[in-house]
Amino acid sequence: MDRYPHKIIIQNSVGDSDNPYSDSTFETVFEGRCRCFLDKRSSGTDGEITENSYQVVIPSPNMVDIGENFKVGVKLQHNSGKKWDLVGFVKDFARYDRVCNLYFQVTKDNQISEDIPDE
């Protein structure tokens, strides 16, 4: 079993605005392997889209420092298609000895998934 079976892409907005929702151009700052799992699921009622928080463990020593509101796309190991399974915004980032922990939040359906290019 692979310890880091998922793929990840992280993008930063190129514009000078602090609002990632208004920027239309993004550059890829990192692509690699990771392990992703659900950290917290927000409460919601039936028919309502909830916000979910995921933790991603990235073992790469070449991982760049990133900040809040970077865009993240994660492709899970069972996905053989071109689309990313989880797309969201970075909420917290921490670097440890040889791994990085990244928390990101998946907001509403397809809100930002069109910005992450197909693989």
Per-residue pLDDT tens listing for the chain (119 residues): 588 899 999 988 877 666 656 656 788 899 999 998 887 766 555 555 567 788 899 998 888 888 887 888 888 888 877 778 888 888 888 888 778 888 888 765 554 555 566 65
For residues 57 and 23, is the Cβ–Cβ distance under 8 A? no
What are phi and psi for residue 114, nearest 5 degrees? -70, -15
Mapped to the 3 state alphabet, what secondary structure does 45-103 carry? CCCCCCCEEEEEEECCCCCCCCCCCCEEEEECCCCCCCCCCEEEEEEEEEECCCCEEEE
Q: What is the pTM of this model?
A: 0.77
CA distance readout (Å), 70 to 7, 13, 15, 44, 103: 16, 7, 12, 25, 11
Pair 44, 107: CB distance under 8 Å: no
